[in-house]
Amino acid sequence: MRLVVAVCEVEYAGRLTAFLPKAKRLLVMKADGSVLVHSDGGSYKPLNWMSPPCWVTDKSEDGKTLWVVTNKAGEELRIHIEEIVHDTSHELGIDPGLQKDGVEAHLQELLAIHVQTLGDGYTLVRREYPTAIGPVDLLCRDADGSTVAVEIKRRGEIDGVEQLTRYLELLNRDPLLAPVSGVFAAQQIKPQAKTLANDRGIRCLTLDYDALKGTVNDEFRLF
C-alpha cells in the first residue's frame, strides 16, 4: 500500500464530472489497484475513488506532476500534484478478514449449548436441520416432547418471521415431527415482527448475548 499526503486538485470524468479544488489530501493506492482520495474529515468515506481494476499513469502537465487513474470503462481520475508532503509504501500482506463477535452463527452455537434458555426441559435435536427450502437453525423438543423449530437472528424483523413461517409449514407436513411450533429468537426484535409472530402463533424470545456467552459480571451486583 502506498500512502501519499499531497497538495492536489482532483478531477473525475466518467458517468458524471466532479472536481476537488486544491487542498492537502491523503491519497491511498492499494495493492488491489484501487485508488482513494481522503480528506481529514468525513469519517471512513473517501472524497473520490477508483475501484479496481484500474491503472495509474505518471505524467507531466505544465511542469507539474499529473497522475491519471484509468479503469477499463475509460473513466479517469486525474490528480494534479502541487506538492508531495509525505510518500511511503508498506507491504501489509494477506489480511485474515474481520472477525465479528455476536453474529448469528455465534448466537446459534451458544443457544444450542444453553438450550434451556428456550424453556425448562428443552433438548436439542439438531443444529442446521435440513429442509427443502434451507436449514432450520435449531430443531428442539420441549418438556412435553413436542417439536420446536427455532429461527435465530441478530435483529428480528418481519423477513425472519416469514422465513420461520415457511419452515413451519414444511415441517408440519412430516408426521414424524408434527405438530411443530416455532420460536423466533433475536437480540432485538422489532415491534412489527413481534406482532406478526404473535398473530401466527410463534413465540418471540429476546436473547442476551453476553449472558449466553458468560461474560456478565455479577461481582458488584447487589440484587
User: How would you write the pLDDT of the chain (223 residues) with one tens digit per residue?
Assistant: 999 999 999 999 988 889 999 999 999 999 888 999 999 987 789 999 999 899 999 998 888 899 999 999 999 999 999 999 999 999 988 877 655 444 688 899 999 999 999 999 999 999 999 999 999 999 999 999 999 999 999 999 999 999 999 999 999 999 999 999 999 999 999 999 999 999 999 999 999 988 888 764 555 444 4
Is pTM, for the whole model, over 0.75? no
Provide the grid cell at 108: 446459534
- Identify the pLDDT of residue 222: 47
CATH number 3.40.190.10 given to 2-89: no
Q: E strands of 42-194, at which residues? A: 48-50, 54-61, 64-71, 76-89, 123-129, 136-141, 147-156, 180-189
Instruction: Report the DSSP beta bridge partners of residue 88.
Output: 3
What confidence score (pLDDT) does residue 97 get?
A: 64
Pick the CATH number of 104-213 from 3.40.1350.10, 3.40.50.2000, 1.20.1280.290, 2.60.40.420: 3.40.1350.10
Task: Identify the bridge partners of residue 222 per DSSP, sorted by sequence position.
Answer: none
pLDDT at 188: 94
Sequence spans of domains, the chain:
2-89, 104-213
Phi, psi of 219 (to 5 degrees): -60, -40
Distance in angstroms (rounded) separating the CA atoms of residues 134 and 123: 22
pLDDT of res. 171: 97
